[in-house]
Amino acid sequence: MTGFIGGTSRDFDEGAVVSAAELTLLHSPVPAEQLVEGTPTASAIALGTFAGQEVGVWEHTPGTSTDVEADELFIVLSGSATVHFVDEERTVHLTAGSVMQLFAGQRTEWTVTETLRKVYVA
């Protein structure tokens, strides 16, 4: 994943269960060059790999920030946000249960209204 990930990782043993909803994440402020509005923080933790792809949990507190995406599939566990795709002039709304695919190079603006936590495969 690109952007403002805290760089934390955690390997899980084969067959282990991890509660993605209950993981403690260490947040950092969104970098100034990505900040649009508010004082959001973000964090991520890599849990391991599946079929050669990183699997992890990402979280963003309320506020607006920009990103340039990597290839990713994610499922929102909790929270609410809109994602505006800058070059495509479209916006999607995300809530718990939303599943979405992002593609490398997409320029996005994330407006998080309720702390958003997602499980990603990238």
Taken in order of first residue, the domains within the chain and their CATH numbers are: 8-121 (2.60.120.10)
Q: How far apart are CA 122 and CA 114, in angstroms?
A: 23
- pLDDT score recorded for residue 11: 56
pLDDT tens digits, 13-47: 667 788 999 999 999 999 999 999 999 999 999 98
Name the CA radius of gyration of the chain, rounded.
14
Q: How far apart are CA 114 and CA 105, in angstroms?
A: 26
Q: How far apart are CA 71 and CA 73, in angstroms?
A: 7
pLDDT tens digits, 90-119: 999 999 999 999 999 999 999 999 999 999
Please tell me whether the overall predicted TM-score, pTM, comes out greater than 0.95 for this model.
Answer: no
CA 72 to chain centre: 10
